[in-house]
């Protein structure tokens, strides 16, 4: 199941929600109502046959035929994200999201996308903590072109001093616009820096300015040679194509590429259990106080992740969710609330962020959040709450199967991050079998004070006993 959240960075445009999907949401609402009446725990989605095989050089291939429209989604998933970067060399995975469009030994800069556009297709890329994904959707007749282009940049990328410096400047400007120049843009960065001590998720996927400035061309080339190789990649095809013909093209273009012959280390530093609540107070040039909380939670795909994801639906999905309703509607303390679980390959954080209305303090908001979490831990989950959470999860799974690109996203995520492509067909039952008692159990396990880090943000000039007691404190 594809999950894009806090960590995602996309090359030039965000994920779209086309009109067809908007229509499907309405249809889905009626479908889910019927499923609920029939017993949603037994809900099943249509089975999708998945063809999988491995090339001699280590490239994993996943293929799903879908003849609904004469297009093919082509995606290359590199199992490298920000968590694979070494300290002092952050931002490299995201930098390559840009560099991979800057020319190869066979193509000048910019020509990759020109080929796709001239064929009537679209292309893009995105980076997360765990993966870097390059994708195209092209007319079926142009599948061999897309395959050749992806194979070409997998091992023939030309990284020059000029392209490196240009893309580094682009990334640094993106960092300024999206984080440094936003009122609360660096608050999540502060949360992760204090919640984690050794985890590779401690830094954000975009990296930081100092590391990018220090990076050398030789460092970048070494990163490419290590991770952008067939034995660290998964090729996903979904759409209208002939399987045998596609296998021939894949062997022709990707087969000759050389892998490293070495197993890439996946031994990541394991964050030690947090033993006490941590609170950080920041003064910033903002108009209103705010806070963000982060609770340590399990890795995606682990047994506890399924009830945690349904807990996230109850707590934080939409304006009817418990936390939003409490802070924005009932108490009218906050003008903005955002909350979600950052589900990733290794354990990460469930975070809750609120911008308070004038006259309210972060501590008041935190107290209300604590009361909501206590309600969850007491097991006050009604059958309606549970049904809504299951319905919303099923809705997400249905939407992920609409269109070749979204199906490829979901299949690639299951194969690379969750390490089992067949979850595409079976994962729905894991969600639908979660009970209210399961949700209560994980809430009691993870939503505890010793597992919590809080960053409180105060406008400069704001005074009061609460701030004086916490002045630049960490505990």
Taking residue 473's Cβ as centre, other Cβ atoms within 10 Å add up to 12
pLDDT of residue 181: 64
Sorted by sequence, the CB contacts under 8 Å of residue 344 that are 6+ apart come out as: 7, 83, 128, 129, 130, 201, 299, 300, 417
Is residue 226 within 8 A of residue 260, CB to CB? The reply is: yes
CATH 3.30.830.10, domain 9-254, yes or no: yes
Question: Cα–Cα distance between 29 and 152 in angstroms, integer?
Answer: 44
CA dihedral sign, ordered 6, 12, 17, 20: negative
Token code pair at residue 114: 């020109």
The domain made up of 278-470 has a fold known as Cytochrome Bc1 Complex; Chain A, domain 1 (3.30.830)
Token code pair at residue 440: 């209560």
Tell me 107's DSSP state: S
pLDDT of residue 45: 86
Tell me 261's DSSP state: S
| Residue 221: closest CA among 162, 159, 166 | 159
Q: What own/partner pairs with CB < 8 Å and gap ≥ 24 does 43-47 have?
A: 43/394, 43/428, 43/432, 44/428, 44/429, 45/397, 45/398, 45/401, 45/425, 45/428, 46/401, 47/425
Calculate the CA 211 to chain-centre distance. 23
Question: Cα–Cα distance between 113 and 127 in angstroms, integer?
Answer: 18
To the question of pTM greater than 0.85 for the whole model, the response is yes
Q: Which spans in 334-420 are helix H?
A: 362-377, 383-399, 404-416
pLDDT of residue 259: 84
Sorted by sequence, the CB contacts under 8 Å of residue 88 that are 6+ apart come out as: 211, 214
At residue 442's C-alpha, the angle toward residues 28 and 366, to 5°, is 90
pLDDT of residue 471: 44
Question: Cα–Cα distance between 330 and 340 in angstroms, integer?
Answer: 20
Tell me the sheet residues that pair with 64: 238
In 247-356, at which residue ranges do the beta strands (DSSP E only) sit?
278-284, 290-297, 334-341, 348-356
Is residue 120 within 8 A of residue 227, CB to CB? The reply is: no
Tell me if 9-254 shares its fold with 278-470.
Answer: yes
pLDDT of residue 22: 33
Question: Cα–Cα distance between 348 and 358 in angstroms, integer?
Answer: 32
Sorted by sequence, the CB contacts under 8 Å of residue 364 that are 6+ apart come out as: 333, 356
Question: Cα–Cα distance between 108 and 160 in angstroms, integer?
Answer: 12
pLDDT of residue 139: 98
* Domain edges within the chain: 9-254, 278-470
Tell me the sheet residues that pair with 124: 135
Ramachandran category for residue 33: left, alpha or beta (phi over 0 → left; psi -120 to 50 → alpha): alpha
Question: Cα–Cα distance between 245 and 236 in angstroms, integer?
Answer: 15
Tell me 449's DSSP state: G
How would you write the pLDDT of the chain (475 residues) with one tens digit per residue? Answer: 544 344 444 443 322 333 333 333 333 343 444 444 445 555 678 899 999 999 999 999 999 999 999 999 999 999 999 999 998 999 999 999 999 999 999 999 989 999 999 999 999 999 999 999 999 999 999 999 999 999 999 999 999 999 999 999 999 898 888 776 678 888 999 999 999 999 999 999 998 889 999 999 999 999 999 999 999 999 999 999 999 999 999 999 999 999 887 788 888 999 999 999 999 999 999 999 999 999 999 999 999 999 999 999 999 888 889 999 999 999 999 999 988 899 999 999 999 999 999 999 999 999 999 999 999 999 999 999 999 999 999 999 999 899 999 999 999 999 999 999 999 999 999 999 999 999 999 999 999 999 999 999 999 877 644 454 444 444 3
């Amino acid at each position: 199941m594809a999950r894009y959240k806090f960590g995602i960075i996309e090359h030039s445009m965000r994920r779209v929600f086309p009109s067809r999907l908007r229509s499907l949401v309405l249809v889905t609402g009626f479908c889910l109502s019927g499923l609920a009446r029939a017993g949603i725990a037994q809900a099943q989605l249509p089975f999708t046959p998945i063809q999988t095989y491995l090339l001699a050089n280590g490239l994993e291939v996943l293929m799903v035929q879908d003849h609904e429209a004469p297009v093919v989604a082509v995606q290359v998933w590199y199992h490298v994200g920000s968590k694979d970067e070494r300290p002092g060399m952050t931002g490299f995975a995201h930098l390559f999201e840009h560099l991979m469009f800057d020319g190869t030994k066979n193509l000048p800069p910019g020509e990759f996308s020109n080929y796709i556009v001239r064929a009537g297709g679209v292309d893009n890329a995105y980076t997360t903590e765990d993966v870097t994904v390059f994708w195209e959707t092209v007319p079926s007749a142009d599948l061999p072109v897309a395959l050749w282009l992806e194979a070409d940049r997998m091992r023939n990328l030309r990284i020059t001093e000029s392209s490196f410096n240009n893309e580094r400047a682009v990334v640094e400007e993106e960092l300024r616009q999206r984080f440094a120049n936003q009122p609360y843009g660096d608050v999540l960065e502060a949360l992760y820096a204090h919640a984690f001590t050794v985890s590779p998720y401690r830094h954000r996927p975009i990296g930081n300015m100092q590391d990018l400035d220090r990076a050398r061309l030789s460092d970048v080339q070494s990163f490419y040679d290590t991770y952008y190789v067939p034995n660290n990649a998964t090729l996903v095809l979904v759409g209208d194509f002939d399987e045998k013909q596609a296998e021939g093209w894949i062997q022709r273009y990707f087969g000759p590429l050389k892998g490293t012959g070495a197993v890439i280390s996946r031994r990541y530093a394991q964050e030690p259990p947090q033993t006490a609540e941590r609170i950080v107070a920041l003064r910033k040039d903002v108009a209103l106080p705010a806070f963000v909380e982060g609770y340590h939670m399990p890795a995606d795909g682990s047994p506890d992740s399924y009830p945690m994801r349904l807990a996230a639906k109850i707590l934080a999905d939409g304006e009817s969710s418990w936390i939003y309703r409490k802070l924005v509607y009932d108490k009218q303390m906050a003008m903005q609330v955002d909350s979600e679980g950052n589900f990733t390959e290794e354990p990460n954080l469930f975070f809750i962020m609120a911008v308070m209305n004038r006259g309210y303090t972060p501590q008041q908001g935190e107290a209300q959040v604590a009361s909501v979490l206590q309600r969850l831990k007491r097991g006050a989950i009604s059958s309606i709450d549970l049904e809504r959470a299951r319905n919303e999860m099923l809705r997400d799974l249905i939407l992920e199967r609409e269109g070749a690109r979204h199906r490829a996203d979901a299949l690639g995520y299951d194969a690379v991050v969750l390490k089992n492509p067949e979850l595409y067909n079976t994962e729905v039952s894991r969600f639908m079998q979660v009970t209210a008692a399961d949700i209560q159990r994980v809430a009691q396990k993870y939503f505890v004070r010793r597992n919590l880090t809080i960053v409180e943000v105060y406008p400069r000039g704001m005074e009061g006993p609460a701030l004086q007691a916490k002045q630049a404190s960490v505990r």
